[in-house]
Amino acid sequence: MKFQNSIDVTQYKSKGFISAYQKLIKETVIPFQYDVMCDNVEGADKSHVIKNFVNAGKALRGENTDDGFFGMVFQDSDAAKWLEAVAYSLAVIPDEKLEKTADELIELIAQAQDEDGYLNSFFTIKDREKRWTNLLEGHELYCSGHMIEAACAYYEATGKRKLLDVMLKNAKHIYNLFVKEKKEGYGGHPEIELALLRLYKLTGEKFCLETAKHFIDVRGVDRDFFKKECEKRKWKVWGMSPGDLHYNQSHAPVREQTDAVGHSVRAVYLYTAMADLAAIVEDEELSEACLRLWKSITEKRLYITGAIGSTVHGEAFTVDYDLPGDTAYAETCASIGLMMFASKMLESKLEGEYADIMEKAFYNCVLAGIALDGKSFFYVNPLECIPGVSAVACTHSHVKTQRPKWYPCACCPPNVARLISSFGKYVYGENSEAVFCHLYAAGEVSFKNGVDFSLESQYPYDMNLKFNIKKGGKKLYIRIPSWSKSFGTEKNGKEVSLKAEKGYVCFDICDGDEIVIRLYDEPYFVYSNNAVSALSNKKALMRGPLVYCFEGNDNENDVLSLRLNDGKKATVSEKNKNLSGAVTLKAHCFRRESFSSLYSLEKPDEKEYVATAIPYYTWCNRGENQMRVWL
């Protein structure tokens, strides 16, 4: 079954777990991040995003730009992702004051646009003559892509065209330059491709589709492009090597690529666009490439938490089965990108494994990227943290033991905000014949094909799902997760025997029907492939979609001496009030006695110990302490 479209965020009204997070984004994260962008948060790294747009507008008017440009070359994208998060939030929770703030920022952005449609505060303020001369490092297409996404979202949520018209003009400028005038090249950081496809779907403007296809088709064809570009200019941003083709996925034409390589965020942003384009134009060769790359990630290069990117060097994939936990990079943005890739794969082919990965990434790595109070963020998401080694040893310097309030490179915080605010579009999908429940999120959903129902559930801590059908007349496909060892189904109070096909069960639904799904609710152990050397003879603990970890706070400040006993079942324990009511587990372990010397000839004693495990996404919310996923 192909081309079931994800719903837009206005169709879903959340309740329960997701609603609490969306409320946190609305009431805490969005205001906090705006204050950061205005440089009003004490103790947070300076952002200057808003002032950059003000200064860009002044530069175009020939006025004094005060303190010029500050920040990363891609600083504009922070504002774009913030606006996108605002748009989704406004669709769910209207707020006139917030909308007014967003409108004011959009006006500043519009004033920063050049007459020909060009929009980028870095080059407009610093040197307009250098526009489009450093595609390797300049992030001009990347920033345009994120602002296009924001424009689409804001129009869908509010009906206002100001930013949409700005970005249509910008997209036309890009089309004229790269397609009509045939300027060579493509962005070092993929993003424009997926954004243009979204703009095409919203507006129907075929030049957007043509430009996106162009950028996808030309990537990697001329393997010397970035080298030749570098030789033509006498300036640089960071001094990236134009010869590192794997870093930006330009080592081969996209249809010939076989393994997920290079910078993990760049990779999955590119793969998302490839999957979307393949579905739109029915390009089977491109679809096959997407499937190869999907398998490369999910079968050999994926952490149990749904994280990707195992090394700090290049924030990148390395080789098959190289998944160290203590030095993992596992960028929050990369897991968000993986969700995007999975969603596009799912739209073209109804396979439960795609939704399984979306769920894994969201409930573990993505949610770990934000503190429970919404005021600090992880960029890197390790599976092991040992104070005194993490953030101290040169090999572990990238692994933080506490979430910072902000970052000089702040791509992850606003990315989390936009993902959580838009969660509904990942949960449900529809076409003319059916509706699809890919993930589980309590609330009400109204589909454009006429179906209307609510879902009652305390997921991810309660595995019982009740669908109350208000308006039916179609088929309802509900995913059964691969982790659910057994499941039960009811329709109108009667047990029905259904077999999951490709990860989904199907119901014919009518007005007034009640559908109940009961998923496996006991904790379970997970074991790794022997090829993952970092996990040799280790095991992990999960319940439902949640990966659990062991923190020193709950376990006598020592998780290093614990050995998990899979000969006894772990049990559901209690809700932890200090972790926003997260359900904890009790796991049988052995605790090994230590000794004073570095090594010993004597076998250490072991004692039985009942350890407490908490959901991985809640770790590091009670101060600095040890943490491990795999024991």
| CATH numbers and ranges of domains, the chain | 9-428 (1.50.10.10), 431-519 (2.60.40.1180), 524-628 (no CATH)
Provide mean pLDDT across the span 526-545.
97
H-helix or E-strand containing 614?
strand 606-615
Residues 628 and 617: their CA atoms lie apart, in Å, by 12
Provide mean pLDDT across the span 210-227.
97
Most confident among 41-55, 68-82, 284-298 (mean pLDDT): 284-298
pLDDT at 3 over 60: no
pLDDT confidence tier of residue 4, bands split at 50, 70 and 90: low
Q: What is the DSSP letter of 380?
A: -
pLDDT digits (tens, 9 = 90+) for 418-437: 999 999 999 999 999 999 99
Residues 201 and 16: their CA atoms lie apart, in Å, by 31
Q: What would the two tokens of residue 300 be? A: 């050999």
Among candidate residues 385, 411, 549, 620, the one labeled active-site is: 411
Q: What would the two tokens of residue 618 be? A: 């809640």
Residues 113 and 167: their CA atoms lie apart, in Å, by 9
Q: Between vectors from CA 307 to CA 304 and to CA 312, what angle results, nearest 5°?
A: 125
Determine phi and psi for 536, rounding to 5 degrees: -55, 125
pLDDT confidence tier of residue 373, bands split at 50, 70 and 90: very high
Nearest CA-CA partner of 517 in 443, 572, 459: 459
Work out the number of other CB atoms within 10 angstroms of the CB of residue 104: 11
Among candidate residues 137, 140, 193, 315, the one labeled active-site is: 315
pLDDT at 529 over 80: yes
Across the chain, how many H-helices and E-strands are there? 18, 21
pLDDT of residue 196: 98
Instruction: Label residue 291 exposed, middle or buried (CB < 10 Å: 0-12, 13-18, 19+).
Output: middle
pLDDT digits (tens, 9 = 90+) for 284-312: 999 999 999 999 999 999 999 999 999 99
pLDDT at 381 over 90: yes
Place of tokens 């994260």: 29
CB contact at 8 A, 261 and 178: no
pLDDT of residue 301: 98
pLDDT of residue 284: 97
Query: DSSP per residue over 14-30, as a string?
Result: E-HHHHHHHHHIIIIIH
pLDDT digits (tens, 9 = 90+) for 107-128: 999 999 999 999 999 999 998 9
Provide mean pLDDT across the span 48-62.
95
- Is residue 315 annotated as part of the catalytic site, yes or no? yes
Q: For residue 329, what are the CA distances in angstroms to 302, 361, 432? A: 12, 14, 42
End-to-end CA distance of the chain: 41
Residues 86 and 153: their CA atoms lie apart, in Å, by 9
Q: What would the two tokens of residue 24 be? A: 């946190």
Instruction: Label residue 563 exposed, middle or buried (CB < 10 Å: 0-12, 13-18, 19+).
Output: middle
Place of tokens 């959009």: 106
Place of tokens 């499937």: 291
Q: Which residues face 494 on adjacent strands?
A: 491
Provide mean pLDDT across the span 55-61.
95
CB contact at 8 A, 611 and 589: yes
What is the 3-state secondary structure of 503-548? CEEEEECCCCCEEEEEECCCCEEEECCCCCHHHCCCEEEEECCEEE
83 Cβ contact list (under 8 Å, min separation 6)? 102, 105, 106, 147, 150, 153, 154, 163
pLDDT of residue 408: 80
CB contact at 8 A, 166 and 107: no
pLDDT digits (tens, 9 = 90+) for 493-514: 999 999 999 999 999 999 999 9
H-helix or E-strand containing 294?
helix 284-300
CB contact at 8 A, 465 and 457: yes
CB contact at 8 A, 66 and 55: yes
Task: For the chain, give the percent of residues with pLDDT over 90.
Answer: 93
Instruction: Give Cα 167 to chain centroid, integer Å.
Output: 23
pLDDT of residue 2: 53
pLDDT of residue 614: 98
pLDDT at 220 over 90: yes
What's the pTM? 0.97
Place of tokens 């748009």: 87
Residues 67 and 51: their CA atoms lie apart, in Å, by 9
CB contact at 8 A, 365 and 600: no
Instruction: Label residue 142 exposed, middle or buried (CB < 10 Å: 0-12, 13-18, 19+).
Output: buried
Which amino acid appears at position 259 of this protein?
Answer: D
CB contact at 8 A, 37 and 79: yes
Residues 223 and 602: their CA atoms lie apart, in Å, by 58
pLDDT of residue 412: 85
* Torsional sign, CA 384, 386, 392, 393: negative
pLDDT at 328 over 90: yes
Residues 466 and 181: their CA atoms lie apart, in Å, by 56
CB contact at 8 A, 364 and 301: no
pLDDT digits (tens, 9 = 90+) for 597-609: 999 999 999 999 9
Residues 134 and 445: their CA atoms lie apart, in Å, by 45
Work out the number of other CB atoms within 10 angstroms of the CB of residue 553: 21
Residues 32 and 374: their CA atoms lie apart, in Å, by 9
Cα atoms in the 13 Å half-sphere on the side-chain side of 11: 21
Work out the number of other CB atoms within 10 angstroms of the CB of residue 192: 26
Residues 57 and 158: their CA atoms lie apart, in Å, by 25
> Where are the extended beta strands (E) located within 375-486?
384-385, 428-430, 434-437, 443-446, 452-456, 464-471, 475-479
- Is residue 437 annotated as part of the catalytic site, yes or no? no
